[in-house]
């Protein structure tokens, strides 16, 4: 009798232990840690929301990277100063620190370099650094805060440091899928799990993997079928990484975007052409995976993708307006 009981006990113990054991999956949970200095971070947040950083004072970083809109603007293309339209869909600022490059074409190696873009883009904030610094220097509040943190006060580098510090805090851990990955098998439903398995079987996982579920490689749009021929009306922005490298092989190549919080960041793709998640998944299946989309599978995959919505500052982003 005793050996049987021992074996039974052992089995129960191992089951109990394995319950919370992290899973070995191609997607990694977001590490919930924040290294930013709170003071610098709050200075960065202030700058991020400050419209004076644009030429006419009408637009801040947050105008297009609205934290209540999944870190983006919900538009096909952004609207800059004087209602100018942008040329490419706004990527989310959430988890941007997890990307190995910034922008759709990856032309910035890091967040600090990325900031130069929107500030100086005529169709976005339309300003320049000397103007920005001059504006900030007029504000005694900024003077005080910068002097508190930096020896040399308000400089381009320090403004960037503050904003980057804030951006590093914009990670969204504790999505239901992350809880599942950490070992909580009940965190996602059976359908969602089926969706994840389909995600892997179809090969979505080949590109959308890692902590950000993407964001760590470039890929051509239209591997199995010519996306742009079908869509038509090709613009310079469609050339993607080609605009950076001038290599023919990089034409129509883009950074694979992260799928974290994907349900909040419609419309999708660099051209914002997909209004819904289902449409985006279908397009991906046709042009990237070379399979005919099956509606039920698409819906299951969409269900899985919605488990990737995480928390910001302890509150679930799933509560934000969609």
Partner 1 sequence: VEHRKIITLFVSILLIMLLAVLTWFFVNVHIDYQFHQTRIEKIRHIQQEVSDLVRNSLLVEKGELQHFDDVAHNQQKLENMLHNIAENENTQPLISATTQIIATVTQIKSSHAIFRNSLLYFPRGVATLRAELVNSPFASIIEKLNILERDVTQLIITNSGDQSKNILNAQVDAIRMAESDLPEHLGSSIEQLLRHTRVLIEHSIKLKALNKQLLNNNVNTGVQQLLDIYQNDLQHDITEADTVRDRFYFTIFLLIAAVTFIWWKQQETKKALLEEKISADKANQAKSEFLSSMSHELRTPLNAILGFTQLLENDAEAPLNDAQKVNISYISNGGKHLLSLINQVLDLSTIESGKAELSIEAIHLSHSIENAIQLVTTLAKESDINLQVGIGPDVYIDADITKLQQVLLNLLSNAIKYNEKGGSVTIDWAITHTGFIRIKIHDTGIGIAQRHQHKVFDAFNRLGQETSVIEGAGIGLVVTKDLLELMGGTINFESEEGKGSTFWFELPLTDTNIEYSHSSIQSAIPNLFAHQDEQNLTGPKNILYVEDNSANRKLMQTYFDKWPEKVNLQMAETAEIALEILSKKQFDLILMDIHLPGQSGKDLTQMLRTHPEFKNLPIIAITAAAMKNDLSLANGLFNVYITKPLDFVYLTEVLKKYL
Region 133-152 residues binding partner 1, contact defined as CB under 8 A: none
Distance CA 259, CA 30 (A): 13
Q: What is the DSSP string of 164-205?
A: HHHHHT------HHHHHHTT-GGGS-HHHHHHHHHHHHHTHH
The catalytic position among 124, 167, 263, 311 is 124
Q: Residue length, the chain? A: 322
C-beta of 90: minimal distance to partner 1 in Å?
22
**Binding status of residue 172 toward partner 1 by CB under 8 A:** no
Region 105-134 residues binding partner 1, contact defined as CB under 8 A: 109-110
Region 67-106 residues binding partner 1, contact defined as CB under 8 A: 100-101
Distance CA 298, CA 249 (A): 30
Rg (alpha carbons) of the chain, rounded to whole number: 22
Single residue of 8, 134, 224, 294 touching partner 1 by CB under 8 A: 224
**Binding status of residue 210 toward partner 1 by CB under 8 A:** yes
Instruction: Mark whether 25 is an active-site residue.
Output: no
CB 297: neighbour CB atoms within 10 A?
19
Determine the angle formed by the axes of helices 295-306 and 277-284, rounding to 10 degrees.
120
**Binding status of residue 164 toward partner 1 by CB under 8 A:** no
Q: Hey, is 312 helix, strand or coil?
A: strand
Distance CA 173, CA 95 (A): 9
- CB-nearer residue toward partner 1: 81 or 300: 300
Q: Which stretch binds partner 1 (CB under 8 A): 52-60, 150-158, 217-225, 307-315?
A: 217-225
Q: Which stretch binds partner 1 (CB under 8 A): 124-132, 202-210, 295-303, 313-321?
A: 202-210
**Binding status of residue 246 toward partner 1 by CB under 8 A:** no
| Size of site (CB under 8 A) for partner 1 | 33
Distance CA 179, CA 194 (A): 16
Q: Which stretch binds partner 1 (CB under 8 A): 12-20, 128-136, 212-220, 300-308?
A: 212-220
Single residue of 18, 68, 138, 201 touching partner 1 by CB under 8 A: 201
Single residue of 53, 62, 207, 317 touching partner 1 by CB under 8 A: 207
Strand partners, 72: 66
Torsions phi, psi for 271 (to 5 deg): -100, 5
**Binding status of residue 253 toward partner 1 by CB under 8 A:** yes
**Binding status of residue 37 toward partner 1 by CB under 8 A:** no
Q: How many helices (H) and strands (E) does the chain have?
A: 14, 4
C-beta of 236: minimal distance to partner 1 in Å?
22
DSSP letter, residue 99: S
**Binding status of residue 218 toward partner 1 by CB under 8 A:** yes
Distance CA 291, CA 219 (A): 18
- CB-nearer residue toward partner 1: 193 or 221: 221
Single residue of 54, 92, 219, 261 touching partner 1 by CB under 8 A: 219
Give start and end residues of each alpha helix (H) in the chain. 2-19, 38-48, 61-64, 111-120, 129-137, 140-149, 156-168, 176-181, 190-202, 204-207, 227-231, 242-245, 277-284, 295-306
C-beta of 26: minimal distance to partner 1 in Å?
4
Region 16-35 residues binding partner 1, contact defined as CB under 8 A: 24-28
Interface residues with partner 1 (CB under 8 A)?
Answer: 24-28, 100-101, 109-110, 201-203, 205-207, 209-211, 215-220, 223-224, 249, 253, 288-292
Q: Which residues are catalytic?
A: 124
């Amino acid at each position: 009798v005793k050996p049987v009981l021992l074996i039974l006990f052992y089995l129960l113990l191992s089951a109990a232990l394995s319950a919370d054991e992290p899973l070995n999956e191609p997607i990694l949970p977001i590490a919930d840690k924040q290294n930013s200095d709170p003071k610098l971070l709050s200075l960065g947040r202030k700058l991020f929301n400050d419209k004076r950083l644009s030429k006419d004072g009408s637009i801040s970083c947050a105008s297009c990277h609205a934290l209540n809109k999944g870190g983006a603007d919900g538009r096909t293309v952004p609207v800059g100063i004087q209602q100018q339209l942008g040329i490419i869909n706004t990527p989310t600022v959430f988890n941007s620190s997890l990307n190995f490059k910034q922008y759709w074409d990856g032309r910035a190696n890091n967040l600090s370099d990325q900031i130069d873009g929107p500030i100086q883009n005529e169709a976005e904030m339309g300003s320049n650094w000397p103007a920005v610094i001059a504006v900030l220097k007029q504000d005694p509040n900024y003077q005080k805060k910068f002097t508190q943190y930096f020896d040399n006060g308000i400089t381009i580098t320090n403004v960037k440091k503050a904003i980057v510090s804030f951006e590093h805090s914009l990670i969204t851990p504790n999505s239901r899928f992350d809880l599942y990955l950490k070992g909580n098998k009940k965190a996602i439903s059976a359908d969602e799990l089926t969706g994840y398995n389909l995600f892997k079987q179809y090969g979505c996982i080949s590109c959308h993997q890692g902590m950000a579920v993407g964001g760590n490689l470039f890929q051509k749009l239209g591997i199995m079928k010519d996306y742009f021929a079908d869509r038509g009306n090709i613009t310079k922005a469609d050339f993607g990484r080609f605009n950076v490298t001038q290599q023919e092989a990089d034409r129509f190549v883009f950074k694979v975007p992260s799928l974290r919080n994907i349900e909040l960041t419609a419309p999708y793709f660099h051209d914002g052409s997909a209004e819904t998640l289902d449409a985006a998944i279908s397009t991906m299946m046709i042009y990237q995976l070379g399979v005919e989309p099956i509606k039920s599978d698409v819906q299951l995959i969409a269900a899985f993708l919605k488990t990737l919505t995480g928390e910001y500052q302890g509150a679930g982003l799933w509560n934000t307006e969609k």
